Every structure is written in C-alpha cells, then in structure tokens.
Chain A
C-alpha cells in the first residue's frame, strides 16, 4: 500500500532523466533525427513509386469501371470574355439633379474652357453599349457607343489593340480614351462620383478621347513601369478639330506601381500633352467692358499640359470585397500661348497658365456600401494680354474656383449601384451652389474586368 508513492516517484524520475540527458546531447539527437528523416523520405519515395506502379496496373485492369472523378474531364466551354463572342454589354444609367444655380455658367476664369455642366431634374444618362472580341489571334477590337437620351449615337471608343505583341509592347489604334492621368481612361460607369473633378471638366471636357495611335511599353521589371506615347488628331479640347495632314496632338505618359505587402497597392504617373488649337471659339466669355451675356473669343496657338497623378489603395488582408480605402489625386498645369481674337474682331497675343487639382478618397465601410469625399480646386492664372486687348480681356479674376463633394453609394450586386451625392460648389464667384444628385448605374450582359 505504501509502496505506491515510491513507485510513482521512480516513474517520474525515469521520465525526468532522459529529459536531462536530452539537453546534453542535443546535437547528436538532431543528427539522428535528420538521418531518420532522410531514411523515411527515401522509403516514402520508394513506396510511392511502388504504389504508383500498382495503381497503374490496377488502372489498366479497371479502366472500364472508372469513376467520373478519375476520368478525363469533358471539354469545358471556353471561359472568360470569349464565352460571349463577341462580348456585349449595356450600361443603363440615370440621375436626378437638384441645383440652386444655372449649370450653364462656367467656373470663374474658365469661360474659354469646356463646361460639361450638370443636368437638372430627372434625366436619363448616356446608355453605353459596348462590344468587344478578339478579331484574330493578334488583334482585339473594342467599340463603345454612347446612346444619348435625346436620340443619336456617338462613338465613344472604337479601337483595335494588339493581343500579345510580346516584349511588353501594346499597340492601340482608332478612337480611345487617352492614357494621360489616372481618371481619363475610366468609363463613366466606373467613376466614384456622379461627375468628373473640376480639373477634368474644364481641362479635358470630362475626358480626352483621341483618334490616333497609342504605343505602350511595359518594362520587364518586378515593379510595374509603363511608358507610352500617343499621336492623335487633337479633336477634343484643348485642341480643335482640323482637316490637314499630320498629327494634331501628342501625349507622353509614364506609370509606375506596386504592392506593399498584401494590403497596400499604389500607382503613380506623369503625363505631358501637346496640341495646337486653330480658331477655338468660346462663347459667353465675360470681358472688362462688362458686355451683357459676354462675348465670343477665338484662340489659335499652342497648348501644353503637364500632369501628375497617384492612387493608393488599402484593404485589410487585401480583401476588397469586405472593406477598402482608396485615395487618389491628380494635378494638371496648362500653358497656352498664341493669338486671341476678342469678340471675333480684335486679335493680339495671349498667354496664360491654368492649373487644377483634386484629392479624393473612397471608403467601403462594409460590403456593398461605400462613401467618398472629394475636394477640387482650380487656378485660372493671370493672362498676359497684348496691348490691343488690354482693355477688353480680363487677365486676372482673383478667384480660385473650388468644390467639396460627399458621396454615398450602395451596390446590391457587382452589376448594380445606387448613389447619393451632395456638393458644395464654389466654382463660380458669388454663386455658391448646393447640389444634390441621385444616380443609378446598372450593367447588363458581359461585364468585362475593370482596370486598376
């Protein structure tokens, strides 16, 4: 009876002893373990080989009664974009807009720039019909037609792109959105706000589309580095459509990007755009004499725009389906110099440097729900005006247009989105505006992958 404690003590001692010895001969043990592991691995390999032979023999015998699991799978239909050949997509969109001011009034100091403006009340947005397919193994074709609510079709994109030219080269020709900046290539249905930033609206009439040729080169590096150039007709602002040989505009751009861990990714870019405007007419431009309704001016000269852009995205665990944060910003600076004809009568020299930027952030705070904040600012610059027009043209407006925008959107699925947007618009001096928009964007049919 009393022996039991001693017995357990002895057992305990036996257990402890090897433990103590363990520390002394750690290296030996490690060597032995490695040897055993190697032996084990050797045997496993041999056994695996034997099993393999056995299975092969068995397979030969039971080929007739194989399960579908082991049999060669039937041919699958081609997946991806080619499954719908050609891929056809239709974007349906519409907005309701409530504005306190007339949207036809341009931002102060930007009356000689485009003013895409906004629509009031209920209105059907542009429906966008997209068709794309591989033409042959070497080329892919894309056409995007915008169906205007009042009727009529405009060709937004119609280009051909090389599928795999190799060596990082990518050639595109036809009508395309220029690759300058970050937002310029994105289609309206992919915008994070109802409208484009002020700088895009007044510098590029929302988006610069070109008829021309684009060549990009992707460097064979771990970090994404892309260089590209475009030669185009220069049909959109700041150019003016022309009927002559040669290229009317040129663009150079460079992009770089990478990941930081699995949660962060970024892209930065710089671009340069050059064109020449010929008799670019602007209406309702305010002047020094204060002509009611403004005057019409015509500009001919060189236009050069430089821009920088960045985007940074963050998602916890890299899972963008759940939550993510996106911050982006762009800055453009444009210098124009040439001849300005005031009121289509008096011509003299004119030079001006305008600039603008925006900074925005979009936060998906829970699946399907996002909110966004954007701040815009423009600088109309101080124009250098020739003596003949010194008493006519306003050279310094002394006002910087700005706007703050708040957005909330809900996407029930990947193919549908509803958006509410509020903006406090200070883009027109003395005409502050509170703007409210409600928008829907729906996509039908093949929906291609989105760009970064």
Chain B
C-alpha cells in the first residue's frame, strides 16, 4: 500500500504532465494566433486610426488610444493603454509633443522596443508636414507651447497626403508580404483624397478672408488652408482658462476687429465660446476636430465634409 513515491507506478505523474503540456500548448496557440492575426496598430488619435484603416484595411488590427471628445493633451496613462502598447507593432501618433503627457509612461511600461522613438514601429505624423507656429524661444511663461510647433496638424487635409505616403511606406516595411495591397490602397487614397480636397476648397471658397476667433490655438492649419483670419484667441495663453476680465478685453477688441464666428473643437468646454458669441452677436461653431467629434464625422472624408458645412453655416 505504502509504495515509495519515487518508484513503481508513475502514471499519475505522467498524466499530470500531459495535461500541463496541453494547457501550455493551448496558451501558446492563443498567444500566437492573436499575434499573427494582423499587424497590431496603436493609434494615438482617431484621425490616425481612420487614415490607417484607409491605407491598410483588414491587414491591421487597430486600437485607438483616445476618443474624439477627449482633450488630446490630457490623456491618462491608463493600464489598458500599457497592455495594448505591449503588443503593438506600429504606433501612429501626431508627435510634436502632443502626447508628451502620457505616451512616455506607456512606452516605458510596455517594454516594447519595436515602438520606441527611432524604431520602425514608431510613426510620428508631424515629421512629414510643414509645421506652423514653431516657437522662436521656449518659455512656459507663454503657456503650453510645443517646441516642435503646433501639433494640431489634422485640420488641414493637404497634410494627409505626405503623411499617408510615409505611413504606407512604413506599413510596407513592417509587412512586406502585403506590399501590393498597401500600394493599391495608397493610390486609391491619393486619387480620392485629392479630388475631395478640390471639392472642399470649392465649397469653402466663401470662407476665404473670413475673420474668426479661436477658443484654443488649435486651428492654424485650418486657417492656413482655407484662408481664414484669426483675430483673437479666448485663452490668454495656450492651455490657460480665460478669466471674465480677459474675455471682456477680447470683446472690446472685437469692436475694432470684428469676427464672423468663434471656433472650438468638439472636446472643448463650450462656456467661453458661448459667452463671447452671445455678447458679440456672432456664431459659436463647434468643429469635429477629428473623426468622431460629431455624429456626422464618421470617417476622414466626413470629417472635412462636416467641418466645411459647419463653417459655412457659421457664415449665415
């Protein structure tokens, strides 16, 4: 009865071993199947997720780190972002320090060398466009300014052409097996996007030279594209909340430089916009700013369709 444990019948031990092996095998299968399903893309903002989708289609599995109604400067380094970044093959972000408040923690904690700055899997869109508002000197006394220039590059559709080109090349480098697919998608995008830009520019012709107020310094690329003139900002310094005194001062200045409308991004608090709009008898216009910012802005094309429509409505 009391046979020594280490000799004789070893069958219970080996059965256990087989079960263990099965479990390990199943676990490995689970990990490898999810890893090989597609290129895992971690998009920092919705516009880059939308662009990646247009360029890669079902060849990638997409995760978007921030929502359209979130202030992209103020995202928390949530645990979910860390685990998504650990498995990402490609990170697609605005760059230009827009994500500086959270992305460094994510990169550090995820331990994923493939997406670190400088690696093939780290794509910063701002590197491929001509940056505006690059500060000549850096001082926090000027508010929340970015050393590399204004990072809100997604408000000018022309910026998407060089970015798409670079992003497509990056996708090909990471996933050469699908080169033909990425090339076709890019050429489709280029053709359709150029046609769309021409259409938007035609529609937006009445906006040329129109004076606007911006709630946050977030529209230099849009203004540059459509030829609108920004006459005032509702933030005394970028990222600073305006006081009642400051708003009154802006209101006073509007007497000399009247504006047609006050613009804000969908994620921004509407109060200061409405305050000035009511007193200056102008329109407060909320722009989607990125994909998903309004119910209409369901993809990149709809983003600019809706932006133009809302701006035109602001003219009336």
Contact = CB atoms under 8 A, between A and B. Distances in A.
Interface residues of A, number: 69
Chain B CB within 10 Å, residue with most, of A68, A81, A412:
A81
Given A317-B267, A320-B74, A218 B110 contact: yes
B54 interface: no
Interface in B146-202: 147-148, 158-159, 161-162, 184, 187-188, 190-192, 194-195
A79 B188 contact: no
Interface stretch (A45-53, A282-290, A370-378): A45-53
Contact of B161 (A44, A70, A256, A262): A70
Contacts of A47: 191
A262 B86 CA distance: 20
Interface stretch (A147-155, A197-205, A332-340, A443-451): A443-451
Contacts of B116: 163-164
B80 A265 contact: yes
A267 B67 CA distance: 20
A165 interface: yes
Interface string A243-257: 000000000000111
A424 interface: no
A83 interface: yes
Interface in A218-244: 218-225
Nearest to B84: A222
B49 to A, nearest CB: 13
B83 A222 contact: yes
A48 B194 CA distance: 10
A449 B77 contact: yes
A69 interface: yes
B71 interface: yes
Interface string A33-50: 000000000001101110
Given A51-B191, A55-B190, A367-B241, A257 B79 contact: yes
A259 B83 contact: no
A391 interface: no
B220 interface: no
B148 A449 contact: no
Interface residues of B, number: 66
A317 B112 contact: no
B111 A167 contact: yes
Interface string B1-43: 0000000000000000000000000000001000100000000
A79 B194 contact: no
A451 B269 contact: no
B90 to A, nearest CB: 15
A69 B267 CA distance: 28
Given A76-B127, A80-B97, A164-B113, A452 B188 contact: no
B191 A52 contact: yes
Interface string B118-135: 000000101111110000
Interface in B36-79: 66-67, 69-71, 73-79
A320 B70 contact: yes
A448 B104 CA distance: 8
Given A317-B69, A451-B77, A45 B188 contact: yes
Interface in A64-101: 68-73, 75-83
B158 A69 contact: yes
B104 A449 contact: yes
A448 B144 CA distance: 14
A174 interface: no
B78 A257 contact: yes
A119 to B, nearest CB: 29
B102 to A, nearest CB: 5
A320 B83 contact: no
B239 interface: yes
B194 A51 contact: yes
Nearest to B240: A413
Contact of B111 (A80, A81, A168, A320): A168
A79 B124 contact: yes
Contacts of B117: 78-80, 82
A429 interface: no
A266 B78 CA distance: 8
B95 A52 contact: no
Contacts of B128: 72-73
Given A73-B129, A164-B111, A414 B79 contact: no
Interface in B276-311: none
A452 B130 contact: no
Contacts of B161: 70
Given A51-B190, A163-B108, A220-B35, 14 more contacts: A44-B188, A44-B191, A69-B130, A73-B129, A78-B117, A168-B111, A224-B79, A313-B76, A317-B69, A318-B67, A320-B75, A322-B267, A452-B77, A452-B78
23 contacts: A44-B191, A49-B191, A77-B147, A79-B97, A79-B124, A79-B148, A82-B117, A161-B108, A163-B116, A168-B86, A170-B111, A218-B86, A218-B109, A220-B35, A221-B83, A223-B80, A224-B80, A265-B79, A267-B79, A317-B70, A321-B70, A321-B73, A451-B77
